Chain A
């Protein structure tokens, strides 16, 4: 259990600033995720925490202790690598015993801890197998067991689920959540897969160009993105250029390109004349036939342009009369019916006034 603190950490590679003045606090026992597109600096941060790289400026503190002078092998921090990095010449049990051997644990204690770890990841029967005899999911579990067995104060996971297929990944996500709850060790997870981050994390830091754009709980990150990048990166969203016309208590009036006058969630600090984007999630948009949806403050006439059938849901792209294109996501919940509307249908789209929000650029 440990509290990790990054204070104004900067890392440059030549002219390229990989990590730009990042400050973060990761609480004890937290499942914390660094999320961002490739090249955003998340892996560099992870390597600096693990000790494979050093910051050019700033400090990394573990429970108040500066890690700068502690080499990677002495840090109470273990990593689960993207490629798992299991030792091919050692069996599963020997792989898991490796950190215990390095810590000079007694033979009996090592044996006991390895058995316990094997059971924890449900691999007791595979103790004597070699890594090349394991499936992807099993390798993943061995890597996890090896990282956790010597009770590090912090476990780093580097894109750890990326190599698994979709079904297995979902299974491992559930296992990972349970495991983290069970052992109570602070997890720092690095990923570019936003759904995975939302599923697993207590809190997420969204990164872009070496900077942290927003740190929040998954639901707040999704529901209340702070800026255009976060809104666009997490989930799907309709983004329409807009300008504030009136900012008052309880509501915000905008003029959006192609939509005209629109009512949005109130936003502290927004003033008339501010330019930005109007953002609305596709699942908030409703579609109806002519005459429906009139009870909603924001409703527009349009025509279904195209649709993407995805099994559980369908995504409809509706071209509005004034030219804007709006995506709407509808569950295919009606039994036996796959498509509620067809391309070319005249429809109405609408959403509640508090569903959409205004974001500064």
Chain B
């Protein structure tokens, strides 16, 4: 009935059945049996240049598609190198499955060559993890891993497989059901609570949607758009939620939080109803919790019950899938017969008026200069070329904030950014994963000169696969975000933030066989970016920007959103002697 096959082959078989078309990995001693199967199998394996980047690339793939991303590594150092990517996926709820090799089961515990306690190490880095020591468990566990990674609140799952399991011969038994008696997935949302939520939305004078990555994970963009239109509510979207409502949608204000817009933060501070959708009240968004949305009743919708009430006690808690809950909520709002009275209509008009005013008073600063390239100018130009359509993978730091502020995203899954963990070195491998997932898309990797140097090995992956990724280095010669904090909060004592010795990108790109150039004149910026986009292959553009620019607005850590600083401290006139 079924053919006899090795564990390694069974593993590949399971991956194919899960719809995997591409995986990112790096081989090693104990995973050779797996690579031996891949030798003549159509499943595409992308050889990265460091295991950490295999995990980031799998994340990029998952973030760009919503499908489960897959990465693999060998035992010991291979597995430990994956961990940053696993935690990154954990923090941002990204579905990935990591396959690692483990030493032969008999050798476990003997400090064998390249042995590490991967199962123990990755326990807190994953949603769930497995150690497979028997071939008969393999297929069941692989299918379970994909189910756990992609259902409920998505996350990373690691499967550690001993070498003897990969080598053993056995029969593939069809896996027809996943049985995890203790794994509860809450999707529906309590009908009574949804009704209460609808009522609050109808009665609110100053409603505000606060949406996040959960909307993208749930694929609820359409429902979100319907909701903001039905409820006539403005919306702010977190770093993780950008694109879930089109940036060009009239109800979209912008990103709130530490580097959010004045309008977004003022709207949060002044709203009387906060509709929190797929968000976790992260400290980078809320600032000082006690001062966050102090006048608002809170409706909190999340698929993870542990997020509800973790940081802010909601008035209407709804545990459920955002898409399904919004569908119910929209139905109630659409069918509602209660027409708002004149007082309410006037209040809503006044609310919108205030929001528009805030937006006008302090829009994001798109400074340009005749002599230097301002970082904001760079982001504005990328935005122009993207038109809200390109995939943008960012690294972590100042460039990430400016990109989030100034680049539009008119669809979900275009903005790929390490939000919760804030992992430098994320941008380029994530762009690689995204470009494999969506080959037809224009993909920018916007990185700083710090993060870029963490990812240089992957230029080789880009070159050897001919990926037409546009790597834009926002080069300010510093670890800019740390430098900004040192400037603002540590008396400008700049410690270990200068990045001297940046390579000549033209030569660097040429060494890998593709084009690169440096640009430092503001009038050369637009043509240089256009050239990069027009290039059919990869392109590395080193953009020298003003070195000492700070990202504003800024809510100092521990302050309330209203206490944001809008710009650099103004020079104070020194009184004449």
Q: Do A and B bind each other?
A: no
Q: Using a CB–CB distance below 8 Å, which chain B residues touch chain A?
A: none
